[in-house]
Amino acid sequence: MTGGLEGYDEVAEANAQKSILDIHWSRICARLKAEVGEVEYNTWLRQMGVGPVEEDEITLYLPTRFLRDWVRGQYGDRLGALWHAEIPAIRRVELQVARGPSSSAEGEAATAESHPAAPVAAPVVEAAVVEEPRTAEVRSDLAAPLDPRFTFETFVVGKPNEFAYACARRVAERPSSPGFNPLFLYGGVGLGKTHLMHAIGSELVREGRVSVAYMSAEKFMYRFIAAIRSQSTMEFKEQLRSVDVLMIDDLQFLIGKDNTQEEFFHTFNALVDAGRQIVVSADKSPSDLSGLEDRLRTRLGCGMVADIHATTFELRISILEAKATASGVDVPAKVLEFLAHKITSNVRELEGALNRLIAHANLFGRPVTLEATQDVLHDILKANNRRVTIEEIQRKVAEHWNIRLTDMSSARRSTVVARPRQVAMYLSKQLTSRSLPEIGRKFGNRDHTTVIYAVRRVMELMEQDPAFAEDVELLRRMLES
Ligand SMILES: Nc1ncnc2c1ncn2[C@@H]1O[C@H](COP(=O)(O)OP(=O)(O)OP(=O)(O)O)[C@@H](O)[C@H]1O
């Protein structure tokens, strides 16, 4: 044995220090998540890792320069304050680019729901790392980064999406061509709209041609409101109007948000008039987005409108094959067929199921069999068998408490309607595989945090009030049967 006990002590001490830091770090992560919300946390902060402490400074790692700069700008001070509160000797936080020696405190424990489409081994986000910011860039100052997993190469093309794919390719090759501006992509949840938008952005950035800004409509609204609050709307407008390609995802979020719609309308006009490209996605076609202003709907429909249809069995098989191959895990054809038969709702769920199987196989080193699949995916398969819809839940709950169905999405807040609405949100979370934002959308475009609150509130009330708990249980049984 060389090195003797001296070496051992150093290693032991380093390990002890690391595990203490990890405890502090997991507390800080929990705080941050509560403060910024799960979506924001997963987008920006989850990949952070903890490095060493030297004197009064702790180093944190982020996988790309882009993420590092963003986190530094948006959360640098807050991270400093949180570390100082945990360990008073720490007065400064240094953010560096690297895979940290310890990954995020939550590591692999992040749930499938919080990150539904996360692959087993998420690659490092590199799309936004560009050396010549004025000629080709993702506008990190106002937009979200592009997910490097969402490229044209990883998008599996089949009958339901071939038109949308071809249009997206065309826009990536020749942005702002007549007839393709704006490009409006629409289709049901989890069918690949976001994937195609990111693919367009990544392709343009890779080609080194233009500056690209991608953001959800929700983010657009928050940025706009923040600009109003900080009296910097001019700056916000100028930033937006300086990009070559603006992509706004899930535009249906702007329904009922008149001021933000107005702002978007002006931005839209300014960009298109200046020969810049707009790409928009929504869950419905422009003509069916009835809550949007007419003039905006008309302009949205002026370029190319492409829909993505529900998947076919053939497309589901092709997607599963591609993803299984990429994972390197051998998944038998009969398992892929079984999944493609059973999980028909959307690609996100299909992918989530496959990822879970693959993670299981990797963790336990066991082959993927049909029996193991049924076991590991028990809950997903059950949810898909049952097929209770949010609409059914809303109807049953409204009938039960004798309120109008429209109150499920109305803004009324009196307990008489708010409580049944919360129960319906709770049951939607329990009985369907819909994500929190999707549930929120079905309840009058409410935010996912409202759904989280409703679920918690109903659970609390069920504990406190047995009669209420019985009501909820009864509803659940009726819906399940
Ligand atoms: N044709 C496809 N090939 C490969 N992966 C796909 C395809 N379609 C969807 N996916 C994957 O399914 C997941 C969900 O897709 P995406 O987020 O693009 O859906 P969406 O239509 O934007 O949904 P939402 O309406 O919820 O915003 C992503 O991980 C995406 O990569």
Q: Using the mean position of ligand 1's atoms as its centre, give its distance from the Cα of residue 207 in Å.
A: 23
d(CA 440, CA 449) in angstroms, rounded, equals 8
Which amino acid residue places its CA nearest to atom 13 of ligand 1?
348
449 appears as a binding residue in the annotation: no
Question: Which residue minimizes the CA distance to atom 18 of ligand 1?
Answer: 192
Instruction: For residue 337, give both structure tokens.
Output: 């067929």
H/E segment holding residue 313: helix 313-327
Ligand 1 atom with minimal separation from the 117 CA: 29
Cα distance between residue 49 and residue 236, in whole Å: 32
pLDDT for position 450: 95
Ligand 1 atom closest to Cα of residue 161: 1
Which parts of 124-276 are beta strand (E)? 137-138, 183-187, 211-216, 245-249
Helix (H, G, I), strand (E, B) or coil at 99: coil
Q: How does pLDDT run across 228-286, given as a tens digit for each residue?
A: 888 888 888 888 888 899 999 999 999 988 888 998 999 999 999 889 999 999 999 99
Say if ligand 1 is within 6 A of residue 349 CB: no
* Ligand 1 atom nearest to CA at 249: 27
Q: Give CA–CA dist 472/230, Å, rounded.
A: 44
Distance 351 CA to ligand 1 centre (A): 9
The CB of 144 under 6 Å from ligand 1? The reply is no
Atom of ligand 1 nearest to the CA of 189: 25
Which residues, in sequence order, are CB contacts of 206 under 8 Å at separation 6+?
A: none
How far from 476 is each of 264, 379, 429, 469, CA to CA, in Å? Answer: 41, 16, 11, 11
Is 208 annotated in a binding site? The answer is no
Ligand 1, atom nearest to 187 Cα: 21
319 touches ligand 1 (CB under 6 Å): yes
Say what the ipTM of the complex is.
Answer: 0.98
Q: Which two tokens stand for residue 232?
A: 């910097």
Q: Ligand 1 within 6 A of 347 CB?
A: yes
- Give the per-residue pLDDT at 15: 59
Q: Which of 113, 146, 195 to mutate to test the pocket of ligand 1 (most atoms within 8 A of CB)?
A: 195
Other beta carbons within 10 angstroms of residue 416's beta carbon come to 12
Which residues of the chain, if any, have pLDDT below 70? 1-19, 39-40, 43, 99-143, 209, 385-386, 480-481
Residue bearing the CA closest to ligand 1, atom 29: 117
**Ligand 1 midpoint to CA 195 (Å):** 5
Q: Does the CA dihedral 219-224-230-232 come out positive or negative?
A: positive
Q: Does the annotation list 257 as a binding residue?
A: no
CA–CA dist 130, 198 (Å, integer)? 16
348 close to ligand 1 (CB < 6 Angstrom): yes
| Predicted pLDDT of residue 202 | 92
For the CA of 158, the closest atom of ligand 1 is 1
Substitution candidate for ligand 1 out of 279, 314, 347, 435 with most atoms within 8 A of CB: 347
CA-proximal residue: ligand 1, atom 19 (nearest): 190
Distance 142 CA to ligand 1 centre (A): 23
Q: Is 192 annotated as ligand-binding?
A: yes
pLDDT digits (tens, 9 = 90+) for 88-116: 788 889 888 875 444 343 332 222 222 22
Ligand 1 contacts CB of residue 38 (under 6 A): no
How high is the pLDDT of residue 12?
A: 55
Contact 278, 284 (CB under 8 A): no
